[in-house]
């Protein structure tokens, strides 16, 4: 059996991809393999169960799960695996992602989801946190992560300038 990449990025809908692709791009910058899939808690519940119950045996190490609105996906996946699950609340139109955030963050004690910020920042940070978790057992990745941080630091100008 071919082992899966270490990180799964799952999302409830194609409409989540413009947000979740920031997680994918961040992992690419860190030269980390991932697999991105659409898995909906509401529209494809059996696909979700199949994914979550086999994720560890498939070789995944960390799951990044993004969803919006009534965002049950990260919590439902976390209920079926003991892999770390990082939840990204996708910004919804009606409530600007407040609904997504509260749906993901308010897990009952016993079934953890590491919840990130709403939207792009959350997607980027989910990828960085996944890398940080994996770097505990991967010195080379730890160095790539430190280099990513250093590049970010070096990119911050000391003085502001006008756009024009
Ligand atoms: C959730 O419903 C998805 O995660 C998405 O954020 C939201 C809206 O989905 P679409 O109606 O755009 O497919 O399940």
Q: What is the pLDDT of residues 32-66, one digit of tens each?
A: 999 999 999 999 999 999 999 999 999 999 999 99
- CATH code, 36: 3.40.50.1970
**Where does the pLDDT of residue 3 fall: very low under 50, low under 70, confident under 90, or very high at 90 and above?**
confident
Determine the structural domain holding residue 132 and report its residue range. Answer: 7-154
Q: Which residue's CA is minimally distant from atom 3 of ligand 1?
A: 12
Structural contact between residues 85 and 114, judged by C-beta atoms closer than 8 angstroms = yes
Q: Does any domain span residue 163?
A: no
Q: Is the CB of 12 under 6 A from ligand 1?
A: yes
Q: Is the CB of 10 under 6 A from ligand 1?
A: no
State the pTM of this model. 0.96
Q: What is the pLDDT of residues 120-161, one digit of tens each?
A: 999 999 999 999 999 999 999 999 999 999 999 999 999 999
Chain mean pLDDT for the chain = 97
Count of domains forming the chain: 1
DSSP characters over 122-146: HHHHHHHHHHHHHHTT-HHHHHHHH
ipTM of predicted assembly, 2 dp: 0.97
């Amino acid at each position: 059996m071919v082992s899966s990449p270490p990180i799964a990025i799952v999302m409830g809908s194609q409409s989540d991809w413009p947000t979740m692709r920031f997680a994918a791009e961040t992992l690419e910058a860190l030269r980390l393999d991932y697999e991105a899939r659409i898995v909906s808690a509401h529209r494809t519940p059996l696909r979700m169960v199949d994914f979550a119950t086999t994720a560890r045996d498939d070789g995944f190490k960390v799951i990044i799960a993004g969803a919006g609105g009534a965002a049950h996906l990260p919590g439902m996946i976390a209920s079926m695996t003991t892999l770390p699950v990082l939840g990204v609340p996708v910004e919804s139109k009606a409530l600007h992602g407040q609904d997504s955030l509260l749906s993901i963050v308010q897990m009952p004690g016993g079934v953890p989801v590491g919840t990130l910020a709403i939207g792009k920042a959350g997607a980027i940070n989910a990828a960085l946190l996944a890398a940080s978790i994996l770097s505990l057992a991967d010195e080379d990745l730890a160095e790539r992560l430190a280099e990513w941080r250093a590049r970010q630091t070096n990119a911050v100008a000391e003085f502001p300038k006008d756009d024009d």
